[in-house]
Amino acid sequence: QQQVKQSPQSLIVQKGGISIINCAYENTAFDYFPWYQQFPGKGPALLIAIRPDVSEKKEGRFTISFNKSAKQFSLHIMDSQPGDSATYFCAAWGAGGGNKLTFGTGTQLKVEL
Amino acid sequence: GAGVSQSPSNKVTEKGKDVELRCDPISGHTALYWYRQSLGQGLEFLIYFQGNSAPDKSGLPSDRFSAERTGGSVSTLTIQRTQQEDSAVYLCASSKDRGSPLHFGNGTRLTVT
């Protein structure tokens, strides 16, 4: 059973555009939602995270939007740059999810000039 | 300071052989995780260690997989009688404690021929 569903699988955005990646979860006990960024040959690195008591969190060009009632959250990358080209994973953590982060299947983002 | 270190970075082995993968977590981090990343897939949880507590082995896919963590620091993931479907990138992560952000190593790419 996949507890965190992520879309799209891949995404191509023009430089300066907005990249949007969506995730949906099933377990209402999840209470921590991070996004990880992974470059080829490297391990994932924490990008930004949110807890369900807020609907939005912004750090620089990266914003998480969170909809608790819909059990959905999304990552927005404003003014996308070629250096943002990477694979992005959403994840969820909390009671009922065990002692682990449950990850989405990833989105491969390519930002073109 | 040093991040999570994994060795080897690449391992090619023949089907049926045993392999050992090593992880050196960040000093002082009490929690240690192993994940598996198959091509085009998300991160699959394998096992979790927290301090001196019994490990959470709920993600190990078969009894061919085992892991240990000696002295609360270095961890070794062992795969016995490797199969082709074991081919993947094995990622180790550590965190200060349960619920803190995970810091990943760059992984070991295992290829079973």
Query: For the segment B22-77, what is each residue's pLDDT rounded down to a tens digit?
Result: 999 999 999 999 999 998 778 999 999 988 888 999 999 999 999 999 887 999 99
Beta bridge partners of A30: A94
Q: Do B98 and A42 touch (CB under 8 A)?
A: no
Q: Which residues of B touch A93 (CB under 8 A)?
A: 99
Pair A19, A77: CB distance under 8 Å: yes
Residue B12 has pLDDT above 90, yes or no: yes
> What residues in chain A have per-residue pLDDT under 70?
1-2, 95-98
* Distance, CA of A80 to CA of A63 (rounded, Å): 12
The pLDDT value given to residue A1: 54
Q: Which residues of A touch B42 (CB under 8 A)?
A: 6, 89, 103-106
- Amino acid at position B38, single letter: S
Q: Do A103 and B42 touch (CB under 8 A)?
A: yes
The pLDDT value given to residue B41: 76
Closest residue in A to B42 (Cα–Cα): A105
Taking Cα atoms as reference points, which of A19, A21, A17 lies closest to residue A7? A21
Encode pLDDT of A62-79 as tens digits.
999 999 999 999 999 999
More confident residue, B91 or B1: B91
User: How far, in Å, are A10, A73, B33, B67 from residue B47 at the CA level?
Assistant: 29, 27, 6, 8
Pair B20, B78: CB distance under 8 Å: yes
Q: Which residues of B touch A36 (CB under 8 A)?
A: 104
